[in-house]
Structure formats: C-alpha cells, structure tokens
Structure 1
C-alpha cells in the first residue's frame, strides 16, 4: 500500500463518486476504480457499499478513511519540514528523445514536478548516444531514450516496450486492414524513416528490424523529423513506421495500422549514472510507475 492509494481512496470518499473523484485527481475514472479494487483486495475487506447512491463507505471503510486522513496529514507535514531543511534549490536535468513527447513522458514529468515543487527540472532534447556522454560528463542526471547502448558507467533500465505501427494515407490499401500488417507487407512500399541525423537513431532501429526478419526494403527515404515524415504520408507519398504514441499526431487522411510482427516494438529506457541512485532518481521511477499503473501499462518494476 502506498500514499497514492490513500489519496485515491480519500478522494472517492469525500466526493462520494468515482467520476467526481477522478475529475478532482485529474485521472480517468476506470484506472481509479481499478486502484480502489486493488486496495480492497490487498486489505481483504469491502470499503464501499456497492450500489449505493451517493457512494457510501462500509464500517471498515469509514475506519480506514479516518486513519488514512491522519497518515496523509503526517506525510505532508514531514514533506514540508524536510523541504524547509533544504531550502537551497536543486536542479535535475533530463535528456529525452523527441518522439517520447507524444507518449507518457509529459505526464511523468508533470507528476514529478508536482511532487517536487522545490526542485528545478530542466528538459534537454538529445539522442540516446548523446545522452550517455552527457550522463558521464554530468550535463544531465537522467536520460529517456530508445536505443540499447551499453556503458559500464551508466545504468540502463527498460521501462517498457512500445508497439510499432505503420502510418498510411486513408486511401492506401492498408488503411482498411484494421487488424494490422506485417513488415513483409510494407517492404516494397515507398518507406519514410526518421530522423536522418545523429545515428544510431530510430531509423537505424527500424532498418535493423527489417533485417531481423530477412527483409531488405529498397525504396527508403530518410526524413529529418517525424512531423515531416507524417506530413508526406498524409500527402499520399508513402508510408512510415512510428511508435504507437505517434497516434496523437492527427493529420487529415492519416491512418495508423498495427504492425503484427512479434519484434515490432521500440524499447523505452531510462538511464542514469551507475553510482547515482539517490532520492530523486527513486522518486522519478515511482512517478513513472504511477503513470503506468493509471494507464494500465504492464511493466517490470526496477529493483534498487
């Protein structure tokens, strides 16, 4: 049981509604309901009267609510007092690859900011290889990337593997194949890859994926950035392999089709200096897993 579970529970009790509590917490209602169900399963008791309108607590739920309020109050007091002890502002610099901004990284950083209001957080876009050098030189504290680059001075943690998709024009023959396509289906298409600089990069990763399946696409055009590549796809010029989070880029006549090959995923890593496992690093991992829990994303929690 974690403090966030107590915050979720208290919000539901005070709002007497999962929907209103979700709005108050700025999260979706289904993940909130799931977290409360998990809390009840962990406690082995029912906390709410099922079917009551407005939502009412059981006797056990009311007891838990009173003590949850005390624990949250104590935790906030400890946090405030600790922050006063260290009034000197600290800075945490995060490197990231640009494509992660279309996924959950903004949610993670926002949550981390809310939990550390006295910590100055700086974001710097850079590719994965440059992140390794920047970590070793002390220019950044953590790096979010997609490539498997090993270095004994850097600890790399796999956060999750993001599915890949194919962006196609709505008039393309693949646009109606909602179930998905295979790499072998698109190998002869006019294929846009991105970016075309600072290799190794995502385009290198996609080329390696084709090679893994013994495929050799001949009609490849490397583009500077994802927005330009998808703009060309929307114009009917070709197709483009992208991470699933790119679906947030909405252009007219642009469809996203799943890639069905088992290896068609893009890993997302967090890297930090091997000897640096301080409070802020651990807290950042906690924020990541909180966001993943709320989005019902599977992951293997890193062990410190």
Structure 2
C-alpha cells in the first residue's frame, strides 16, 4: 500500500533534483530513500523516475503522479493547519443572531470588521431573531451567540448573558406628526398615541422595556391598526400610521420622513447584551472574548 511518506519522499526527490540532495533534506540515508522509491514503483507497477549517476528525469506517468502527489501533500498540510486553527478557536463559521432592535450600525460593523481581521479563518452568518427567542436557539445549537436588548425573561442555566453597551431610546414619529417640531417629549405625553410596534409586558427585549416605561407613567401603549417588526416599522411611522420608541441607532437606517424626539434621561436607558453557551466551542469562546475586549463598557467573560 502506498504511504504518505513515500509520496513525500518522491516529491522531495523531484524538487531536489537528485537522491543525494533529497536524502540530505529528509535526514535519511540515500539507500533507504532508494528502497522506498523502488517499493513505490513496484506497488504502482509503473516506472516514475529514470535515473543515472548524475540526474533524474520523470517519466510521463511520473510527471502526472508528481503533480497529483504535490497537490495531495499541500491539501493535507492545509487540513492540518485548519484543524489546528479550529482546535484553537481560529477557524470556522459562527452563527450570529441579533434582534431587530439591535441594528448593525456603522460602529458595530467596525467592531466585526476588526474581529474578522483578528480571526482570518472565521466567517460570520447573521440572522435576525427576537431577543426572547435567541437564548433557546443558542441553547439548542441552532446559533452560536446573539445580541439582545435587555431584559431577557427566559433564564436558561447554560446561557451566559454579558452586557456590552447602553443606548438611549428616542421617540420616532412622522415629519407630519403634530409633535414633529419638538426636540423632546415625555413618556406621559404619548398616552393617546398609537404604537406601530406592539409592546408586550410578558415578552422580553425592547417590547418589554417600552411597555414597562409606559406603565411607569400609568398607561399601556395603544396598538395602531398597522403594526410591524422593528426595521419595517420605520416605513409605517413615515406614513404617519403611528409612533414607536426605538433605540437611537435606528436613526442611521431611518427614511427621510421620520423625526426623532429625545426622552428624559430616566426614561431613555436601554442595555444591549451578548448571550452564548457557557460551554461554547473554543472558536466561539475565543471570538466572543475578543468581541467583549473591543467593547469598552462590556462585562468581561
């Protein structure tokens, strides 16, 4: 049976141009090298090398075998390197979830670009999922880590939650809204407004936070007859079908027909966290640790 050692020896002989130099490079006796080549040709039942006292020359079969053997050895070398990188957490695909209220802003994009430079063997697969659903997806292996808007109501023992940054909340409304010319507004003044994003007091993430803010001012948000998820709700707001309380970062993706009003400081606090399995694979754990180090206010792993 042909061995990888014989392939390596054969390629080295061709590259070196002689048995003598190949034996020196391989740190073996020339007689042992000659014996391995004879066994290789015998097993293959074909002549690969024509040789005399001064030089070697490939046969037609030898030329083909050399090219294929070199490619095989290079592939094996790549496989070893890749396996080593995976074992150290340096290569593979990481599945990232983010809620619709955690936008991939320019600042966040810069963070991930820097991480991809640090981890040249890693690729990222982004998907949207509600904050409250991400923990289960990660716990059951459908994703590797997520970016959520706190609070998360569902507590799973194997899921780690690390706060990464705080973000202001603002009120988004149409340029044609009666409050559009104002620079700021209080939560209580939204009592009679219709919300295009339906808050739910029993669902975590931004919806829970918005409901809690409104209930602090003794009302529950009224639902508009036209509702939507966070990204497309901006179009409903532009059409003056209702309002929403959204993260400040959504201004980056907002249509021109939307105005944003500031909220009082005590009603404008919002926290974003990353979540991941406590027993995350080495690659994922290394990537998340690097992510947390790049976030100046993040809780460290």
**TM-score category by the smaller chain?**
0.5 to 0.7
Residue 160 of structure 1 contacts residue 269 of structure 1 at CA under 8 Å; is this kept in 2? yes
CA displacement at 1:280 relative to structure 2 = 4.4
CA displacement at 1:167 relative to structure 2 = 1.0
- The correspondence for 1:160, drawn from 158, 165, 170, is 165
Residue 172 of structure 2 contacts residue 237 of structure 2 at CA under 8 Å; is this kept in 1? yes
1:101-125 per-residue CA deviation (whole Å, 9 max, x = no partner) reads 3434333322221211112322232
CA displacement at 1:86 relative to structure 2 = 2.0
Gaps of at least 5 residues in structure 1 are 1-81, 294-298
1:146-182 per-residue CA deviation (whole Å, 9 max, x = no partner) reads 132322211101112211111122233422222x211
Bigger shift: 161-170 or 95-104?
A: 95-104
**TM-score, normalized by length of structure 1?**
0.61
Relative to 1, partners in 2 of residues 1:235 and 1:152: Cα closer, same or farther, differing over 3 Å? same
2:102 equivalent to 1:100: yes
Pairwise CA RMSD of aligned residues? Answer: 3.0
2:143 equivalent to 1:140: yes
1:90 maps to which residue?
Answer: 92
Relative to 1, partners in 2 of residues 1:229 and 1:223: Cα closer, same or farther, differing over 3 Å? same
Give the whole-Å Cα distance in 1 for the aligned partners of 2:221 and 2:170: 17
Relative to 1, partners in 2 of residues 1:94 and 1:218: Cα closer, same or farther, differing over 3 Å? closer
Residue 196 of structure 2 contacts residue 227 of structure 2 at CA under 8 Å; is this kept in 1? yes
Gaps of at least 5 residues in structure 2 are 1-79
CA displacement at 1:135 relative to structure 2 = 1.8
1:220-254 per-residue CA deviation (whole Å, 9 max, x = no partner) reads 45622234322222122322211101001232321
Give the whole-Å Cα distance in 2 for the aligned partners of 1:142 and 1:254: 32
**TM-score, normalized by length of structure 2?**
0.61
What is the aligned length?
Answer: 214
Residue 101 of structure 2 contacts residue 206 of structure 2 at CA under 8 Å; is this kept in 1? no
2:292 equivalent to 1:303: no
Q: What secondary structure, in the 3-state scheme, does the structure 2 residue paired with 1:86 have?
A: helix
1:63 maps to which residue?
Answer: none
Q: What secondary structure, in the 3-state scheme, does the structure 1 residue paired with 2:196 have?
A: strand
Q: What secondary structure, in the 3-state scheme, does the structure 1 residue paired with 2:215 have?
A: helix
Give the whole-Å Cα distance in 2 for the aligned partners of 1:275 and 1:84: 22
Relative to 1, partners in 2 of residues 1:128 and 1:239: Cα closer, same or farther, differing over 3 Å? closer
2:194 equivalent to 1:190: yes
Q: What secondary structure, in the 3-state scheme, does the structure 1 residue paired with 2:157 have?
A: coil
Give the whole-Å Cα distance in 2 for the aligned partners of 1:145 and 1:160: 11
1:257 maps to which residue?
Answer: 261
Bigger shift: 280-289 or 206-215?
A: 280-289
Residue 194 of structure 1 contacts residue 202 of structure 1 at CA under 8 Å; is this kept in 2? no
Relative to 1, partners in 2 of residues 1:224 and 1:152: Cα closer, same or farther, differing over 3 Å? same
CA displacement at 1:126 relative to structure 2 = 1.6
- The correspondence for 1:238, drawn from 236, 242, 256, is 242
Bigger Rg over Cα:
2
CA displacement at 1:285 relative to structure 2 = 4.0
1:164-211 per-residue CA deviation (whole Å, 9 max, x = no partner) reads 111122233422222x21111112122221589x95453333122211
CA displacement at 1:96 relative to structure 2 = 1.5
CA displacement at 1:260 relative to structure 2 = 1.3
Relative to 1, partners in 2 of residues 1:207 and 1:84: Cα closer, same or farther, differing over 3 Å? closer
Give the whole-Å Cα distance in 2 for the aligned partners of 1:237 and 1:248: 21
Residue 147 of structure 1 contacts residue 201 of structure 1 at CA under 8 Å; is this kept in 2? yes
1:61-80 per-residue CA deviation (whole Å, 9 max, x = no partner) reads xxxxxxxxxxxxxxxxxxxx
2:179 equivalent to 1:181: no
CA displacement at 1:277 relative to structure 2 = 8.1
